[in-house]
Structure 1
Amino acid sequence: MLRKLSVFPLLLPAPALAHPHVFVQVEMAVVFDVQGGVGVRLDWVYDAYFSMLVTADLGIDMDGDLQLTPEEQALLDTQIAAWPADFDGDLEVVQGDTILPLAPKRDHAMVYADGIMRETHLRPLAQVADRSAPLTILPYDPTYYVAYSLAGPVTVEGRGDCTVDIIPANLDAAYSLVDELLYGRPASDVGPDEDFPEVGRSFADSVVVTCAGLL
């Protein structure tokens, strides 16, 4: 998400080195279509500070009325919509030990309202390994540069025989892992040119979708 912004490197003040840098609320729906396809629709609601940094850097909403002109909206769309080849969308869907491949995003939209940016898109599953097995969905940034947190209930669209269970991340274990990998250094001491350990998955809540019938 955020790494795809061409303006992103310009937005962070030098002292802001602690992880995570950006906080994103995630609204999620699991979507079944009539052709038998499965996808995950995500709404990423950016935090107010980062939304302000992006709009300021792009030079949009400079009058502060929290409304974008068509030209400003087009600029925001072009900066957000083009994902680089090495960005996987900060989403993992698994069945058992199998990570399922995801198709390119669809139905991408960008909304700016009340000073907050909201990015919406659908990630279809390219294939399902086992039509009888539950899906486990984890939204996370591997480097924990971005902290994703689930907001509101996870819904299921297109069928009525599925249940959703949310397994919160074990934060004590996640912070212990960070401490172990950094050899006791505080995260705030990790400089901008250093690689932060890929601990994001440990901070991710898991969404488990179980259906009575085949997926």
Structure 2
Amino acid sequence: MKLKAAFYGLLLAAGTAAPAFAHPHVFVDARLEVVADDDGNVTALQNVWRFDEFFSSSVILDYDANLDNQLTGDELTDIGETVRQSLAEYNYYTQITADGEDVKLAKPDVIHADMVDGQLLLFFAARPENPLPLSGHLTFGVYDPTMYTAIDFRNDSDLVTQGDAFDKCTKTVLRPDADEILSENANSLTDAFFNDPTDMSKLFATKLDITCD
């Protein structure tokens, strides 16, 4: 098994197809740091993802080439490169909107992988494909559009900004009310859960909401 796009590997290993899912099978604790330069442009979104122990143990089984029950060196490099290639079509789960329009990300130069206390960690910088000035209404979030992976920001302090250019902006962490979303979208959610990917996942995602002069 390899880390497939949208982390379908657990099901692929069992010989099943990868349909859309109505609930997550992989759980991630995340941190996001949005970086801007002195010219007022967003230059990077620094991501840190820590995966749940069950998924992490399956990754050890699949990538432990020397069978020493741990991941080091080329094994970790292989994981990072697999994710870098496979998540391109999902914009690396890292979502930006500028005045309501989706912003495309360039492929990261590298995704670093590590294994700490039995949990897989991924570190990488996502960068806008084109210059992105700090102006108008911007949102930054990390979520899986297939709803296979649940990405959680445990604390508001896990979504932060870096750079003096943000001083002209107001920043808010938005945490949607799941019950309210389910109630308001009851008629469309059932069909959405059977589409891959589904736009409905963004309704449930925690986001950093920024408005700049």
Work out whether the TM-score is over 0.5: yes
RMSD over aligned Cα atoms: 3.3
Shift of 1:142: 1.5
Deviations 1:186-208 (A, max 9, x none): x8xxxxxx645712111101211
- The residue that corresponds to 2:189 in the other structure is 181
Counterpart of 2:46 (choices 41, 54, 63) is 41
Q: Give the direction of change, closer, same or farther, for the CA distance of 1:21–1:178 in structure 2 (3 Å limit).
A: farther
What is the 5 A alignment of 1:129-148? 131-148=134-151
Q: Partners in 1 of 2:8 and 2:152 — Cα distance?
A: 24
SS in 2 for 1:112: strand
Shift of 1:82: 2.4
1:165 and 2:166 are equivalent in the alignment = no
Q: Partners in 2 of 1:37 and 1:106 — Cα distance?
A: 19
1:200 and 2:193 are equivalent in the alignment = no
- Count of paired positions: 199
AA aligned opposite 1:28: L
SS in 2 for 1:86: helix
User: What percentage of residue pairs aligned between the two structures are identical?
Assistant: 25
- The residue that corresponds to 1:104 in the other structure is 107
Shift of 1:7: 4.6
SS in 2 for 1:172: helix
Q: Give the direction of change, closer, same or farther, for the CA distance of 1:178–1:107 in structure 2 (3 Å limit).
A: farther
1:77 and 2:80 are equivalent in the alignment = yes
Q: Give the direction of change, closer, same or farther, for the CA distance of 1:172–1:158 in structure 2 (3 Å limit).
A: same
Q: Partners in 2 of 1:44 and 1:61 — Cα distance?
A: 25
- The residue that corresponds to 1:127 in the other structure is 131
SS in 2 for 1:53: helix
1:87 and 2:95 are equivalent in the alignment = no
Deviations 1:9-58 (A, max 9, x none): 435697xx761111111101011135654121111111111111111122
1:156 and 2:161 are equivalent in the alignment = yes
Deviations 1:145-201 (A, max 9, x none): 111111341222222615531110220134343674327xxx8xxxxxx64571211
Q: Any unmatched runs of 5+ in structure 1?
A: 188-193
More displaced 10-residue stretch of structure 1: 89-98 or 110-119: 89-98
Q: Partners in 2 of 1:145 and 1:201 — Cα distance?
A: 13
Q: Any unmatched runs of 5+ in structure 2?
A: none
Q: Partners in 2 of 1:55 and 1:98 — Cα distance?
A: 39
